[in-house]
Amino acid sequence: MAQTTVEPLTSSSEAKTTKAKGYAAHSATTPLEPLSLKRREPGPDDVQIEILYCGVCHSDLHTVRNEWTNTTYPVVPGHEIVGRVTKVGTKVKKLKEGDLAAVGCMVDSCGHCEECKAGLENYCQQGLVLTYNSPDPHLGGMTYGGYSTSIVVNERFVLHVPKSLELAGVAPLLCAGITTYSPLPALEGRQGPEGGGRRPRRPGTHGGEIGECDGRACDAVYDFGAQA
């Protein structure tokens, strides 16, 4: 399989950075190892997060082993991130220092194209930025994910997590959970096969927050035989 390698983020970048530590794979056949890396200083729209938990997604494994033949090494996986906000930019409105926050598989997009304005940033016409193994428009090199001590993310891609939730349980919601939830609103009201299927019940949204499971969300997930 094809493999590519880039140098870790370099000090030649003029952007201000802070140090972080992560676990990285350096090839498809070697274990993850500690890696020193850099995060950008938060810009006006950015949120800096101390990572407390990160789920393990199958995508992490495929990427580490280069099974999708698009891995750039070293790669720091992890896109089910939960942590505590340590700093916010001057324009950030929905989060403040000390809040609990979460980040999924996307960390940026243009924000201006038709798809972004429709809330479909994953189809951004200029290309979305994935949480890891994606070209980093701020520092150069590639983005590094949540198997690390901290991350800096544009506010648009950060969710507020209520203090009442058990944080380790929140992490898998950021990819597995959202993937399960995402089709439900689109399917709402449609009949199942032969017209006799159950109508999916739509979990309530919470204005950008991850809501506590109120029963409806759990029912909807288990209707589809998934466990988030």
Q: Residues 56, 110, 184, 187: which binds Zn ion (CB under 5 A)?
A: 110
- Per the structure block, which two tokens stand in for 144? 């590094």
Q: Residues 28, 52, 56, 113: which binds Zn ion (CB under 5 A)?
A: 113
62-68, long-range: CB < 8 A, 24+ apart? 63/132, 63/133, 64/25, 64/28, 64/32, 65/28, 65/29, 66/1, 66/2, 66/3, 66/28, 67/1
* Residue with smaller CB distance to Zn ion, 28 or 113: 113
Q: Is 57 an interacting residue with respect to Zn ion (CB under 5 A)?
A: yes
Residues 124-143 that bind Zn ion (CB under 5 A): 124
In the bound complex, what is the minimum distance in angstroms from residue 110's beta carbon to Zn ion?
A: 3
Q: Is 109 an interacting residue with respect to Zn ion (CB under 5 A)?
A: yes
In the bound complex, what is the minimum distance in angstroms from residue 80's beta carbon to Zn ion?
A: 6
In the bound complex, what is the minimum distance in angstroms from residue 219's beta carbon to Zn ion?
A: 23
- Per the structure block, which two tokens stand in for 126? 């200029």
Q: Which residues 6+ apart lie within 8 Å of 171 measured at CB? A: 53, 54, 55, 80, 81, 82, 102
Binding residues for Zn ion, total number by CB under 5 A:
8
In the bound complex, what is the minimum distance in angstroms from residue 111's beta carbon to Zn ion?
A: 6
Q: What string marks each residue from 152 to 181 as x (binds Zn ion by CB under 5 A) or -? A: -----------------------x------
Q: Residues 48, 59, 66, 180: which binds Zn ion (CB under 5 A)?
A: 59
* Residue with smaller CB distance to Zn ion, 168 or 188: 168
In the bound complex, what is the minimum distance in angstroms from residue 225's beta carbon to Zn ion?
A: 18
Strands 150-154 and 46-54 turn out to be antiparallel
Binding residues vs Zn ion (CB under 5 A): 57, 59, 109-110, 113, 116, 124, 175
